[in-house]
């Protein structure tokens, strides 16, 4: 049955249009976009405020949500943060992973996110023994996204080494399949279905030996799947790669055929000019995660230079220090202003594209992220009368969304034509805060 949504104001990529009707067909796609519709048509669902395409969270580690607050105590480094992360990872079971991820993905939906790229490397039981179903942990994430009402690209991750060929440490045994061939055999058993894409990931050049990088890259190429990789997040990674291989991580990936238009480098923080040129010339994407990068004191990546070189930009909440894609978009611009002491590196529209169309494309969904005929009917409505958003005229809705709004201003979310969030309440996980509190507390017991 066709459903019509009437949008009081809609961001149509280049401008904000008042009075837009979206006809959504039974297959969950936008059948028609009608402008100049001043009042809701009979039977239409009225969405008041500013409607934008659904947001794409291109980089997530769902279980890191359990670290929020805990890892902000005291100081430390990325490496000390990692030890706390390992402790949480050891406690998860398929059931507790599902419960936690369901609550986390519901939090994402409340933040206007309609598609998540889950960088998944928690594959096996403690000690590294495979479960009877070797993909039960990945299936738990897929089921959690389904119950939370959002799409997922499961970026199944090869994680084979503790560092440049060294054997995994005890707390990394859950992550490893032993070899890239064994990883490929396991991940090939995962099947795509409605709302689910299967992609691949190289955890990092630290964690996948150089002679096995091409196995992962070839699997992604053969399956026409997205390929993501943590890239140059830390200067220590660059130094170790230079010592081991005489080249940067980017150069090593290029040598083994892992760059390209379906590849996204996550962070891309500490890059040489030659790295930037390689990333851009190969059309490899860049996923920036500013709230995590600043939380871990990783640094500010060269996003402007990467985009100018030809790298599409997307955004992720990564460790979930906060889950707010509008904040990620805002932070990318504001961090660059602090670094350069100049303003206006991206327009609000360009930042929204990174959070929507380009993010969905990085997750293998080029048919999402726009409000146009034929696109997936995934969209998010922000209130324009909160204490944060009240005041600007509606035609400045993009600027208001990026530079003033937060996840708290999301009032309605529709995925595939189906309402997931209504009046700021998740339809299937109505007490999301309690669900988060209970699932995280259980991991501490």
Active site annotation includes 267: yes
| Long-range residue pairs from 181-190, CB within 8 A, at least 24 positions apart, any chain | 181/215, 183/156, 183/158, 183/215, 183/216, 184/215, 184/216, 184/219, 186/123, 186/134, 186/135, 186/156, 187/135, 187/156, 187/219, 188/219, 189/134, 189/135, 190/135, 190/138, 190/139, 190/154, 190/156
Q: What is the DSSP code string of 344-398?
A: -SS-HHHHHHHHTHHHHHHTT-TT-SS-STTSB--EEEE-SSSTTT-SS-GGGHH
Of these residues, 156, 275, 298, 318, which one is catalytic?
318
DSSP 3-state assignment of 160? coil
Q: How far is CA 221 from CA 325, 362, 385, in A?
A: 29, 14, 47
Q: How many residues does the chain have?
A: 445
Of these residues, 123, 267, 360, 426, which one is catalytic?
267
Active site annotation includes 318: yes
Count of C-beta atoms within a 10 Å radius of residue 42: 6
Catalogue the E-assigned strands of 96-193.
113-120, 151-158
Can you say whether the dihedral through the CA atoms of 71, 77, 83, 85 is positive or negative?
A: positive
Distance between first and last Cα of the chain: 47
User: Hey, which residues are catalytic here?
Assistant: 267, 318
């Amino acid at each position: 049955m066709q459903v019509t949504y009437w949008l009081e104001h809609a961001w149509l990529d280049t401008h904000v249009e008042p009075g837009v009707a979206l006809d959504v067909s039974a297959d969950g796609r936008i059948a028609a976009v009608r402008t100049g519709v001043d009042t809701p048509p009979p039977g239409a669902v009225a969405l008041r405020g500013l409607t934008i395409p659904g947001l794409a969270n291109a980089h997530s580690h769902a279980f890191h949500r359990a670290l929020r607050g805990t890892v902000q105590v005291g100081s430390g480094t990325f490496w000390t943060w990692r030890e706390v992360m390992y402790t949480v990872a050891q406690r998860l079971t398929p059931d507790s992973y599902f419960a936690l991820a369901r609550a986390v993905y519901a939090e994402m939906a409340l933040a206007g996110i309609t598609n998540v790229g889950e960088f998944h490397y928690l594959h096996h039981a403690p000690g590294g023994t495979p479960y009877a179903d070797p993909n039960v942990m990945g299936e738990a994430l897929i089921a959690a996204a389904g119950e939370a009402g959002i799409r997922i690209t499961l970026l199944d991750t090869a994680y084979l080494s503790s560092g440049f060929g060294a054997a995994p440490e005890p707390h990394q045994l859950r992550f490893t399949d032993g070899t890239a061939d064994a990883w490929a055999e396991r991940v090939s058993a995962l099947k795509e279905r409605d709302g689910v894409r299967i992609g691949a990931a190289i955890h990092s050049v630290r964690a996948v030996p150089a002679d096995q990088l091409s196995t992962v890259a070839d699997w992604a190429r053969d399956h026409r799947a997205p390929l993501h990789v943590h890239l140059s997040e830390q200067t220590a990674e660059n130094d170790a790669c230079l010592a081991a291989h005489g080249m940067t991580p980017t150069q090593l990936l290029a040598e083994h055929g892992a760059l390209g238009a379906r590849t996204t480098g996550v962070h891309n923080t500490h890059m040489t000019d030659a790295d930037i040129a390689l990333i851009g010339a190969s059309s490899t994407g860049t996923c920036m995660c500013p709230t995590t990068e600043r939380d871990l004191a990783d640094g500010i990546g060269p996003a402007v230079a990467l985009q100018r070189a030809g790298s599409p930009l997307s955004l992720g909440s990564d460790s979930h220090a906060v889950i707010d894609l509008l904040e990620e978009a805002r932070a990318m611009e504001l961090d660059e202003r602090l670094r350069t002491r100049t303003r206006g590196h991206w327009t609000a529209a360009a930042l929204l594209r990174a959070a929507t169309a380009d993010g969905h494309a990085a997750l293998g969904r080029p048919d999402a992220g726009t409000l146009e005929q034929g696109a997936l009917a995934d969209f998010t409505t922000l209130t324009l009368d909160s204490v944060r958003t009240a005041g600007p005229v509606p035609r400045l809705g993009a600027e208001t969304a990026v530079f003033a709004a937060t996840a708290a201003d999301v009032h309605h979310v529709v995925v595939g034509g189906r309402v997931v969030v209504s009046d700021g309440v998740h339809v299937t996980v109505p007490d999301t805060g309690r669900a988060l509190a209970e699932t995280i507390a259980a991991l501490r017991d």
